Amino acid sequence: DVAVRLARVGWLHVWSSLEDVTVLFGGPRTGKTGWLMARILDYPGAVVVTSTRLDVLALTRRFQSQRGPVYVFNPAAVGGEPNTLAFDPLTGCADPVAALDRALDMVGAGSDGDHGDRAYWESQARRVLAALLHAAALGHLAMPDVLQWVVNPEKAKVELTVLLKQSPAPAMLDDVAQFIGTNDKTRTSITSTIM
């Protein structure tokens, strides 16, 4: 209950504390999946497993579900496995700082640094997206609403204004007003970056 058996050398077993991180590297067909499943089945507490293969889940789910809930995060529905764990990007965004942090995470997450025009558009997109996330959270709305605002900001102008007037961060209302009032070329660049 306090360690994971890593290997056996002769009669000697090599162990790793449950508090340690264990990484297993190996080539194809070297027993990695079997080893991992045995560790999952033996582990006395909660387990987080990341895998691109569904066999680990299929072979351990029934036993693990007897110990407690089994959640699956599979937003792409790989192998037809339903997603049972979700993350709502609007959680916490009623706080303007959280909305800014979330937008920072969402826009340019795959960016590899500061590269002129790209950095500028990502900065603009983060400002606008933060305000939209904040407005949606204040109005108890959902991400499809944010998407509609990005697609058609002029149509959403009144709703966004009403929502953001409740905000403790008046600059967010200014960010949205500037976004809606800017020329089509600039707005399209910001919209494309957000999307």
**How far is the C-alpha of 101 from the C-alpha of 93, rounded, in Å?**
9
The amino acid occupying position 188 is T
Structure-block tokens of residue 101? 């942090």
In the block, residue with structure tokens 């008046």: 170
Would you give per-residue pLDDT tens digits along the chain (195 residues)?
788 888 889 999 999 887 888 887 888 899 888 888 888 888 777 888 887 778 888 889 998 888 889 998 887 788 888 888 888 999 999 999 999 999 999 997 656 666 678 888 999 999 999 999 999 999 999 999 999 999 999 999 999 999 999 999 999 999 999 999 999 999 999 999 999
- Are 175 and 128 within 8 A, CB to CB? yes
